[in-house]
Amino acid sequence: MGEMEAGKLRHKIDIQKFTTTKDSYGEDIKTWASFHKSFAEVRPLRGKEYFDTQQIVPEVDNKITIRYKSGIAPTMRVAWGSRTYDIRSSTNPDERNIMLEILAVENPTS
């Protein structure tokens, strides 16, 4: 892997984690909270469709490349504009801590 080209990181994304907070009555509120904001390259890799609850649902795999950030997990998601992507995995190419490649699937309900 070579050095990262900064010009390709043109999309502003927000990596979010699922958290639980309390409301004014002490009740749990489950919500997504920002974990890390970054510029990224978002590229669709492949798409497919599957049949779910009597409708065809599209599924598109995406590779999202950012500058290296530790702590990103498959329990998180990526928000980009009005779209959200469920993180499947993240890879640190060549273990050099320069960039991070995130494999994510676009959430069709976003």
Query: What would the pLDDT profile of 32-55 be if each residue is shown by its tens digit?
Result: 999 999 999 999 987 555 555 566
3-state secondary structure the chain: CCCCCHHHCCEEEEEEEEEEEECCCCCEEEEEEEEEEEEEEEEEEEEEEEEECCEEEEEEEEEEEEECCCCCCCCCEEEECCEEEEEEEEECHHHCCCEEEEEEEECCCC
Threshold 0.75, pTM exceeds? yes
Which CATH superfamily, name and number, covers 6-106?
A: Bacteriophage SPP1 head-tail adaptor protein (2.40.10.270)
Q: What percent of the chain has pLDDT over 90?
A: 70
What pLDDT does 70 receive? 97
Annotated domain spans of the chain: 6-106
The pLDDT tens digits of the residues spanning 91-108 come to 999 999 999 999 999 987
Q: pLDDT tens digits, residue range 59-102?
A: 789 999 999 999 999 999 999 999 999 999 999 999 999 999 99
